[in-house]
């Protein structure tokens, strides 16, 4: 059975009125006879960051990857983006899709159910609890009256017993996503000294990560809980999400942006942990907990959830935000049709494979001089020398990552030791706000040597504290609070990066390098060899390692 999962602004323009009908991170996934073949976000193909439009390019990409024609698709599952306009044009959407996928059954799935699926069907556990928390999900109705949009959902799964259902959904409380988005946008505009009305709703997702980074510079100046708790049978935590609702103390308005960012992050974590602990105390949580929804991109909160021991095993997929919805929809379809779901070892590398021939043809088309390495370890030795010499390296290997992070398939690497490398990389290539830290990538078996927590983190979902004695050796990735968003790699999940790090360790005695996404400022991460070569040529990147080929810029 061939199942296509989709997410996007079917029936409306996501940019016409983003306050009323917002949709971002559109894309498509394909599951063929239970095997997850590929998953892609539209932005990687359209080159429009956070592209929420109908994922036309992604559909073609998936059909090609699955070697399928539209007539061969049996089911199309669309994750609901939760806007009223989506429902208004639902019949037209189904009709249009039916004209293309003439043999397919077309079905719409609940937003939070798709988020949950993306987590539940990618964990190796059979049974457990799932929690979804995001900005806003599907419309919630009570007695045919619309009461709001899903903010939180809790459910139970047992795959063998064929149980998978949401048992609590709250539209207004447990509103951690909306709380963070609302305040982050305001604080960001305050930090860059622009009025809030200039804030572009299309970029509201980027504000959250930026303000999370800024929080490390703030001080705790305002010690009060920014939420109300309803300790009832189905616990609720109400964050004060509306800056103009008058519930905040006046002193908050006087704070500098850095201190406000600290306050926001702190309140968010306190509210979230209060909610999770209430769920735990009331017996809702099983040993295995699957988390999903955009708020689980907050690596600081994720680390606290694990440290607090909210559950024995916590699973967060590498695509907790809306980019995981089409994948969740496709996996839910496979589950409903009793398919035996087969996933790749590395849950993040879900793009298509590009061959040596494709890469070489693209290099030749661009008229670029390159060196081909017959031995990948020789290539890694050469790249290690460049990294040691503080060169900026573009790294294009393996299938592209699904999700917002560059996890060693489409990355820019640099030596993590000299503190100034952060500024060098920022001034030459990334042009990001100065307060934002760079992430790192480390051999898995060295993580305990460098970090207090020592978590394995193959999908970069946690922040970890750098051990005091190691700070000097990785200053370029040490944040203001001595933490780092670190990814751990091993041979099994990340063979190419693992080889590079082993070669780098041998050469420099360090198992860590700086890792950031391979993209131009404001652009999505590169997808194809052509994207990578063009971006390499446009940016001040010194070396490109693409498949078995190395390209170097001279005199830079
Ligand atoms: Fe969502």
- CA 338 from chain center: how many Å? 28
Q: State the pLDDT at residue 14.
A: 80
Is the pLDDT reported for residue 316 higher than 60?
A: yes
Task: Give me ligand 1 centre to Cα 246, in Å.
Answer: 28
- Which of 141-145, 176-180, 531-535 has the weakest average pLDDT? 141-145
CATH topology (fold) of 1-122+319-343: Nucleotidyltransferase; domain 5 (3.30.420)
State in Å: Cα 178 to ligand 1 middle. 11
Express each pLDDT in 213-224 by its tens digit: 999 999 998 777
**Distance in Å, CA 270 to ligand 1 centroid:** 22
Mean pLDDT of all residues in 346-369 = 95
Ligand 1 mean position, distance from CA 93 (Å): 20
Architecture, CATH, for domain 356-552: Alpha-Beta Complex (3.90)
Distance from the alpha carbon of residue 79 to the mean position of ligand 1, in angstroms: 10
pLDDT per residue as tens digits for the range 34-68? 999 999 999 999 999 889 999 999 999 999 999 99
pLDDT score of 207 more than 80: yes
Please report the pLDDT score of residue 241 as a whole number.
Answer: 62
- pLDDT at residue 86, as a whole number: 79
Using a CB cutoff of 5 Å, list residues around ligand 1, an ion. Answer: 134, 322
Give the per-residue pLDDT at 520: 86
Higher pLDDT, 82 or 269: 269
Residues 353, 357, 360, 362: is their CA dihedral positive or negative? negative
Q: Indicate whether 555 pLDDT > 60.
A: no
Q: What is the mean pLDDT of residues 223-252?
A: 76
Residue 395 CA to ligand 1 center (angstroms) comes to: 30
Beta-carbon contacts of residue 334 (< 8 Å; ≥ 6 apart): 1, 3, 31, 34, 121, 341
Tell me if domain 1-122+319-343 and domain 176-315 are identical in fold. Answer: yes
Strands 549-552 and 543-546: antiparallel
For β-strands 145-149 and 139-142, DSSP reports them as: antiparallel
Q: The pTM is what?
A: 0.95
Ligand 1 mean position, distance from CA 138 (Å):
9
Per-domain boundaries in the chain: 1-122+319-343, 176-315, 356-552
Per-residue pLDDT tens over the stretch 162-205? 999 998 888 888 889 988 988 898 899 888 877 766 666 666 67
**Residue 498 Cα to ligand 1 middle (Å):** 33
Residue with tokens 């360090």: 510
In terms of Cα–Cα distance, which of 138, 174, 198, 185 is closest to 329? 138
Helices (H), 197-324: 204-214, 250-254, 257-281, 299-307
For residue 11, name the pLDDT band (cuts at 50, 70, 90): confident
Decide if pLDDT at 556 tops 70: no
CA atoms within 13 A on the CB side of 157: 26
Q: What is the rounded average pLDDT for all residues in the chain? A: 92
Q: How far does the centroid of ligand 1 lie from the alpha carbon of residue 82, in Å?
A: 9
Model pLDDT for residues 95-117, shown as the tens digit of each residue? 999 999 999 999 999 999 999 99
Pick the more confident residue, 369 or 248. Answer: 369
Cα of 24 vs centre of ligand 1, distance in Å, is 9
The alpha carbon of 308 and the centre of ligand 1 are apart by a number of angstroms equal to: 25
Ligand 1 center–CA 9 separation, angstroms: 13
Q: Cα of 25 to ligand 1 centre, how many Å? A: 10
**Alpha-helix runs per DSSP H in 348-474:** 356-365, 376-388, 421-425, 447-450
Superfamily per CATH, domain 176-315: ATPase, nucleotide binding domain (3.30.420.40)
Distance 504 CA to ligand 1 centre (A): 39
Cα(136) to centroid of ligand 1, in Å? 6
State the pLDDT at residue 276: 97
pLDDT value for 144: 80
Tell me, what's the pLDDT at 70? 98
């Amino acid at each position: 059975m061939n199942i296509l999962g989709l997410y996007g602004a079917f029936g409306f323009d996501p940019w016409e009125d983003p306050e009323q009908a917002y949709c971002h991170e559109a894309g498509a996934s394909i599951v063929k006879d239970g095997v997850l073949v590929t998953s892609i976000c539209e932005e990687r193909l359209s080159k429009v960051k956070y592209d929420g439009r109908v994922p036309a390019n992604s559909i073609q990409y998936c059909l090609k990857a699955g070697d399928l024609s539209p007539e061969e698709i049996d089911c199309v599952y669309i994750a609901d983006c939760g806007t009223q306009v989506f429902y208004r044009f639902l019949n037209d959407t189904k009709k249009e899709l039916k004209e293309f996928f003439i043999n397919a059954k077309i079905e719409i799935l609940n937003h939070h159910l798709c988020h949950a699926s993306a987590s539940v069907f990618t964990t190796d556990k059979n049974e457990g609890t799932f929690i979804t928390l995001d900005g806003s999900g599907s419309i919630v109705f009570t007695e045919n009256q619309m009461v709001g949009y899903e903010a939180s959902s809790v459910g139970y799964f047992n795959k063998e017993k064929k149980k998978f259902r949401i048992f609590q959904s709250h539209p207004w409380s447990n509103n951690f996503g909306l709380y963070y988005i609302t305040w982050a946008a305001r604080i960001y505009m305050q930090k860059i000294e622009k009025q809030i009305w200039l804030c572009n709703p299309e970029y509201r997702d980027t504000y959250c990560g930026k303000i999370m980074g800024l929080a490390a510079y703030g001080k705790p100046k305002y010690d009060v809980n920014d939420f109300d708790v309803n300790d009832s049978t189905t616990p609720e935590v109400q964050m004060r999400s509306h800056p103009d609702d008058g519930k905040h103390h006046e002193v908050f308005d006087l704070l500098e942006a850095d201190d406000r960012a600290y306050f926001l992050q702190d309140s968010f974590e306190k509210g979230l942990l209060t909610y999770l602990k209430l769920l735990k105390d009331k017996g809702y949580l099983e040993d295995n907990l699957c988390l999903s929804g955009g708020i689980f991109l907050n690596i600081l909160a994720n680390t606290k959830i694990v440290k607090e021991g909210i559950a024995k095993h916590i699973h967060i997929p590498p695509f907790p935000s809306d980019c995981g919805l089409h994948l969740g929809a496709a996996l839910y379809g496979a589950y409903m049709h009793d398919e035996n779901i087969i996933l790749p070892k590395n849950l993040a590398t879900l793009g298509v494979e590009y061959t040596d021939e494709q890469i070489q043809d693209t290099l030749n088309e661009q008229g670029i001089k390159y060196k081909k390495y017959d031995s990948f370890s020789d290539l890694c030795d050469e790249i290690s020398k460049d990294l040691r010499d503080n060169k900026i390296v573009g790294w294009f290997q393996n299938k592209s990552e699904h999700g917002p992070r560059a996890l060693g398939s489409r990355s820019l690497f640099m030596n993590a030791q000299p503190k100034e490398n952060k500024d060098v990389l920022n001034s030459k290539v990334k042009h990001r706000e100065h307060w934002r830290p760079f992430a790192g990538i480390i051999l898995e078996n060295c993580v305990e040597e460098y970090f207090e927590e020592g978590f394995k983190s193959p999908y970069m979902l946690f922040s970890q504290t750098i051990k005091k004695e190691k700070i000097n050796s990785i200053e370029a990735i040490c944040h203001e609070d001595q933490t780092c968003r670190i990814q751990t790699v091993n041979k099994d999940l990340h063979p190419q990066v693992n080889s590079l790090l082993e070669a780098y360790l041998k050469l420099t005695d360090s198992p860590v390098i700086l890792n950031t996404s391979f993209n131009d400022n404001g652009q999505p991460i590169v997808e194809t060899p052509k994207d990578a070569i063009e971006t390499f040529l446009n940016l001040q990147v010194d070396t490109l390692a693409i498949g078995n080929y190395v390209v170097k810029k001279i005199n830079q």
